[in-house]
A and B are shown apart, each in its own frame.
Chain A
């Protein structure tokens, strides 16, 4: 069972197209995995659509007829096929299935690189910036304790990890505002996540603090 979902506020903004494309990707991928949120978004869509389109403006008749004529004599827009280009990712001898929303943007997935602590990451190039990554933690791995200057959204694609607050499994969506500190780690099971950041991480403890000047290389 999925325990952690985006808030209704986030889902409304998502439905209205008011969020970053990269955060929309994380939420859309969660919705692929979560029928509860898929249903909620359907309801939100109906409500938002009814609200957004409930008022008419005065549209001059001549202008209207003109546009109508142009449309009906226009040639058909290009047909688009949007099948997922990425069906699974392979790492450390394992294959992981990729939900369709992420799969449709699969060609934007960059190469894997290793980060200290049995952690790998691969950037997804969405906004020309790399603020969204696939992050793979091997079993028994730990990301050093860190805090965020901005917000962080994490979606568990496969496996499980825990931090000081809870344990997260397949499909769980975790949104942390700034000033939250946490140290994610895996136990017996490995974990693949999709992680979005709107500002670089700040490592807060021990030797990892030395990473700070480089954290933007690792996570952004």
Chain B
């Protein structure tokens, strides 16, 4: 088992202050990714690159201590961002998190390749970040634990498409207003309202059909 060096205490990651560059907001980065995905915008990608490449380089240099390997990681990660931006979904996390998980997977594979192992598992098997058509619903079917409200809605909750489920979760479990959800997820208020309506309708149908 190769465990991280002792000096990097895990708790640190949970308590550090958020990054100082607040001028580049999550929403803005998300919009750039959407532009790359929808219109192959070179300008949007250049901006993403200028924001992330130096950060990835700093991360990779700390990890590998080798300039060339670090640059390979930066290039591989950003190549995937350019070609696979359509796989980013703001509902699953921030752009920074998505890009970090791509880099994490590449790092994992680089470290394992260095061991010259045959027939090896790839990070993508363990953390499918760049796989197409991941059936999210099949993953959620294995959800066994539920909090109180989820228990009431029971298994039906998991039948909802991701987009609807997340909205329902934020409104009915976290107690946010539709406006807040709209702001946070960077989707129009009308979309939040229609997703809520569709989700509730669907849940009602499911519950009455099974009662």
Chain A residues in the interface with B (C-beta under 8 A): 1-2, 8-9, 12-13, 15-21, 23-25, 28, 32-36, 38, 42, 44-59, 64, 67-68, 70-72, 74, 76-77, 79-84, 97, 99-101, 104-105, 108, 125-128, 170-171, 198
Contacts and interface: CB of A to CB of B under 8 A. Distances in A.
Interface stretch (B12-20, B177-185, B189-197, B199-207): B12-20
A129 B199 CA distance: 46
A56 B96 CA distance: 13
Nearest to A171: B144
Contacts, number: 189
B146 A35 contact: yes
B100 A48 contact: yes
A202 to B, nearest CB: 19
A59 B121 contact: no
Given A12-B14, A45-B97, 12 more contacts: A21-B112, A21-B121, A25-B126, A28-B127, A32-B142, A33-B143, A67-B78, A71-B45, A71-B49, A76-B83, A97-B142, A128-B119
Contacts of B71: 67
B3 A19 contact: yes
Nearest to B98: A49
Contact of A80 (B59, B61, B132): B132
A32 B139 contact: yes
Contacts of A28: 126-127
B56 to A, nearest CB: 7
16 contacts: A12-B10, A17-B107, A33-B142, A35-B143, A36-B145, A44-B14, A48-B100, A50-B96, A56-B57, A57-B61, A64-B53, A68-B46, A71-B79, A72-B45, A127-B117, A128-B117
Contacts of A74: 79, 82-83
A142 B12 CA distance: 42
Contacts of B45: 68, 71-72
Contacts of B117: 127-128
B131 A71 contact: no
B82 A100 contact: no
B135 interface: yes
B2 interface: yes
Contact of B50 (A13, A64, A81): A64
B59 A53 contact: yes
Given A2-B145, A48-B13, A51-B13, A82 B128 contact: yes
A25 B140 CA distance: 17
A57 B54 contact: yes
A44 B57 CA distance: 21
A44 B13 contact: yes
Contacts of B101: 45, 49
A198 B3 CA distance: 13
B93 A46 contact: yes
10 nearest CB pairs, A to B: A49-B100, A56-B54, A57-B58, A82-B131, A17-B108, A49-B97, A53-B55, A12-B10, A54-B19, A18-B4
